[in-house]
């Protein structure tokens, strides 16, 4: 009987899933969804979402930030570890492997910028910060684009490395 050990890739994926589930628990029920706020590009859009949340929703959003400043570090590390330590990215050329290794850390930096700008906006008061909303929306868009691309690359690597069982 072989002993299985938790690999760094498995550990980082577990940390990511726990962190993501916690964030979903904290802000997943906000209506409009958190994505409506993240992907706002004008002050009018941003403040419309904030107004719909009301004081209780805004407080819940503000309260999630201690966890949301840790979350990007978790998934940024996860991306590097998965590219470095698994076979899923072996078939990609070296330049693309570097791109995939940096994709989630760059997404994490965009996420952190988005968080800082949202805190700044929410503490500045309604109607403020149209340029900050645009920058936060662009950062969130970059974050989500890189996350989706990484997920697709991870899936492609899994399909590519899958070998059907052929028996003894």
The pLDDT assigned to 3 comes to 56
| pLDDT at residue number 125 | 81
100-141 pLDDT tens trace: 999 999 999 999 999 999 999 999 988 778 899 999 999 999
Interatomic CA distance for residues 67 and 120, integer angstroms? 17
Q: What mean pLDDT, rounded, does the chain reach?
A: 92
- 3-class secondary structure, 42: coil
Read off the pTM.
0.89
Domain limits of the chain? 8-160
């Amino acid at each position: 009987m072989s002993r299985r050990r938790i690999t760094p890739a498995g550990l980082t994926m577990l940390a990511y899933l726990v962190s993501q589930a916690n964030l979903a628990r904290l802000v997943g029920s906000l209506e409009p969804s958190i994505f409506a706020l993240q992907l706002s590009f004008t002050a009018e859009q941003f403040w419309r979402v904030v107004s719909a949340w009301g004081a209780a929703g805004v407080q819940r959003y503000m309260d999630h930030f201690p966890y949301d400043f840790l979350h990007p570090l978790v998934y940024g590390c996860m991306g590097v570890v998965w590219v470095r330590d698994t076979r899923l990215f072996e078939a990609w050329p070296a330049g693309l492997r570097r791109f995939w290794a940096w994709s989630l850390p760059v997404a994490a930096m965009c996420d952190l910028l988005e968080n800082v700008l949202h805190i700044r906006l929410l503490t500045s008061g309604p109607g403020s910060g149209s340029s900050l909303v645009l920058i936060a929306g662009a950062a969130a868009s970059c974050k989500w684009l890189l996350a989706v691309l990484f997920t697709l690359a991870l899936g492609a690597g899994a399909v590519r490395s899958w070998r059907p069982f052929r028996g003894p």
